[in-house]
Structure 1
Amino acid sequence: MKDFQSNLSSVVRLNIGGKKFCTTVDTLTREPDSMLAVMFSGRHTLTQDSDKGYVFVDRDGKHFRHILNWLRDAVVPTLEESQYSELLREAEYYQLLGLIEEIHAVLNKRKEVDEFHTELTRTDIIKCIQSEKVRFRGVNLSGLDLSKLDLSYVDFSHACLKKVFFPRANLQCAKFRDVDAEASIFLNATLRECEFTGANLRGALLAGACLQSANLQDACLVDSSFCGADLRTAHLQNADLTNANLEGAVLEGANLKGAKLYNANLKGANLQRAYLSHLNLRHTQLEGARLDGANLLGAIR
């Protein structure tokens, strides 16, 4: 039997499930904890074909060239997702931990790209809004920059608007019913009379936005920021404002019936004539808030 480890540059002939490969001991032992490194460490006796000197491994050889190229150059090939699954299975068999980690990294990156893959571009949006009745119902616009555009009266209902950039956009009377707008930015946007019924605005930034008479009933506003926003006569019934920041916001005449305000920040907010009946305000920060004329019947403070 040949002592492979005695010469790292020696050529090794491999028969992987019927496919023939030639490489060196140095390549096969690049990852010292792998099964290949153990096989060719010199500590094990390997059976070779008596005629041609090939070491046989009973595995599918379809992706073994990628295994060798990884060991040579530490490069992950570009493959279809189903092929990555096959390569991952081989990498696990040969216990190539570095390749396993890189394949998972590639697959995770692809998932992130797919999640935020948009169906339209900013240019497409601009072309669309030139028509009178614009609808983006159910469309994925995640990650788009739609700042400063006139999107008034546009129907975004049921759309995916994650991390969309809306600063200073005119969204007056736009419909956002049941949208997923998590972490989107509406900084200083005009949202007068908009409809956000049932919308997910978790972590959204609406500081300085004009939301007069906007409908946010049943919306998820957890961890969102409305600092300095104008929410006069806004409808916030049953909205979840847990950990929301409304410091300095104007909520004069707003209806917060059934809203969740646990740990919400309402410091300096204007709550004149706001409807706060039977709300639990015990864990709400109200320092400096204006409450004259507010309906606090049955509220817990």
Structure 2
Amino acid sequence: MSGENDTVIELNVGGVHYTTTRKTLTSDKNSRLSEWFDASNSSSSLVKDAKGRYFLDRDGVLFRFILDYLRDDGIHLPDGFREKQRLLKEAEYLKLNGLLKCVQALSDSHPAGCITVGYRGSFQFGKDGLADVKFRKLSRILVCGRVALCREVFADTLNESRDPDHGGIDRYSARFFLKHSFLEQAFDMLSEKGFRLAGSCGSGTAGSAAELKPGVDVEENRWNHYNEFVFIRD
């Protein structure tokens, strides 16, 4: 029996190739993988690719984390990992309840940190001047902080196009901004991730006497301002 468990298995998972052992694949006896690869199961419906590898029509990139879990009975995801929901889906499909609990526990635990949100804006005025003043006009919402934290909070709404350094996610950057201009949406996302407002400041940036760019309203230019909000998570 030990010889069968030590059998080397070649896998093609969604086009990504892996090499492991039958013992690893069957380590969780209640999983779908154990059903497929248990040596005593002669009714397995698995197919093989042209090179004789067992083919699994699943996410090949995420399967590396599944193998890590099967080998070590635990998992460590990289900081800023964005595919937790997809990994949960894979674990659910493969009936890996232990992996489900591990990923959910990691999702519930958040590292402490600080994120600063800032914006430059003004007030829009209508044809009647102050009598027709409108709500604040935001040109861009800026985000500063550790890359991993910023990605965790803002996910796909974070625009990283102005950040030329694609190094480690433990670095800090002051060059991010959001793809939307809704300040309240940014605050909601921070609150949902456990951040609280620690402080804020604002200042007027009254327009200069220099000639304005075409399309810039003179009255609106007088009411330019900049604000920053500091959020922390303990």
Decide which structure has greater strand share.
Answer: 2
TM band (smaller chain): 0.3 to 0.5
Larger radius of gyration: 1
With the length of structure 2 as denominator, give the TM-score of the two structures.
0.45
Q: Answer 1 or 2: higher relative contact order, Cα 8 Å, separation at least 6.
A: 2
With the length of structure 1 as denominator, give the TM-score of the two structures.
0.36
